[in-house]
Structure 1
Amino acid sequence: MGRIVRLSVDDVVHDGDTLLLRLGEPASPVPAPVAALLLEHIANRDNMNTATNPASRWLFPGRRAGQPARPDHLSALLNEAGIPASAARGAAIRQQLLELPAPVVADALGYHNKTTSRLIRETGGTWSRYAAGDHTRSPTSRPPRGADDS
């Protein structure tokens, strides 16, 4: 949630008829129903009528001047709307673990390797034997099999 509250309206990009959200590079397309909600949110953001925030660029402006909303505040708003944020986050990481090796997910999302390994076992994923690391180098300093010097 900490990264989400630090998004700005500049992270919402119009590309023709497509709305993109810059969560990383490249920006991710936003599905049509969510895009409409996102644009409505931008037009009617909270905390914009105070003397401290009239030109705030935060997607989720906070009550304090120049600051975004607090993550716990955004989480509470999602819960009020019927979206359990913690359950959604857990479901999202489990889906990633079904599609990618646990060490890759751990590195990308900042999780500990042991956490993602436990989650993949619970999820029933098939990446349990993935060996993390640089697979382009040979452990004995010899070229990997199939590497031609000629």
Structure 2
Amino acid sequence: MPRLALPPHVIKQDQAPMRQHRRLAVLRRVLHDETLPLRVRTAASLVLLYAQPISRVVRLTAEDVIDDGDALMVRLGDPPSPLPGPVASLVRAYPAEQPRLARAGSRSTAWLFPGRQPGHPMDPSSLLDQLRAAGVPAQRGRASAIRQLVLQAPAPVVARALGYHDKTTTHLVTEAGGTWSRYAPGDHSR
């Protein structure tokens, strides 16, 4: 078989991760701009803070939000991730604002982001369009968030807490120049 020469993968500027200060500015605006729909504010917060893809955000159910009275947590991986105060108040207020008709058709699963058809979650492309219209660059913000998270904590810990694969976060930490390369995951109590 002849040798093949593949062109290098070029990352366009509109696909590159956002800078940290820009991501935090967008997150701050989403948290405080009450002119935006609560659905958009809630979804954007999960994307910009916990690096969740839109396809995973729309599949969250009401059971994935855990309120123990003191703290509000969302089950993205294991263990559930705590939501900071401003995001927690958005997530608490969001289900109360939703029309009950979307949830009435599905007694077994109450989607956090219900779709138009009873029993189905919202279409990810529809939510992505709403985020874009609100000025939230979801893919770039998510890429920025995951890179920042793997720089702050060991890649296996981030992967487990946010529902990512270990190899994905390990690759991202080396790409981002992180120092957690010698972290040994697992039980250290022995």
| TM-score, L = length of structure 2 | 0.53
Aligned equivalents of 2:129, 2:148: Cα separation in 1: 24
Structure 1 residue 25 corresponds to structure 2 residue 78: yes
Q: Which has the higher helix share?
A: 2
Aligned equivalents of 2:165, 2:64: Cα separation in 1: 21
**Counterpart among 178, 183, 186 of residue 125 in structure 1:** 178
Unaligned segments of structure 2, at least 5 residues: 1-53
Cα shift at 1:131 = 9.3
Distance 1:75 1:89, change over 3 A: same
Cα shift at 1:60 = 0.3
CA contact (8 A) 2:60 2:111 kept: yes
Cα shift at 1:49 = 3.2
For 1:3, the aligned partner's letter is R
**Counterpart among 54, 59, 67 of residue 104 in structure 2:** 54
Cα shift at 1:2 = 1.9
Cα shift at 1:121 = 5.0
The answer to which structure, 1 or 2, has the higher relative contact order (CA under 8 A, 6+ apart) is 2
**Counterpart among 98, 107, 114 of residue 45 in structure 1:** 98
Unaligned segments of structure 1, at least 5 residues: 135-150
Aligned equivalents of 1:74, 1:94: Cα separation in 2: 23
Aligned equivalents of 2:69, 2:157: Cα separation in 1: 33
What is the Cα-based RMSD across aligned positions, in Å?
Answer: 3.3
CA contact (8 A) 2:155 2:173 kept: yes
Q: Aligned runs of 1:27-106 on 2, under 5 Å?
A: 27-45=80-98, 48-49=100-101, 53-54=103-104, 56=106, 57-100=110-153
Structure 1 residue 7 corresponds to structure 2 residue 63: no
Question: What's the counterpart of residue 165 of structure 2?
Answer: 110
Distance 1:104 1:25, change over 3 A: closer
Q: How many residues align?
A: 131
Aligned equivalents of 1:124, 1:84: Cα separation in 2: 24
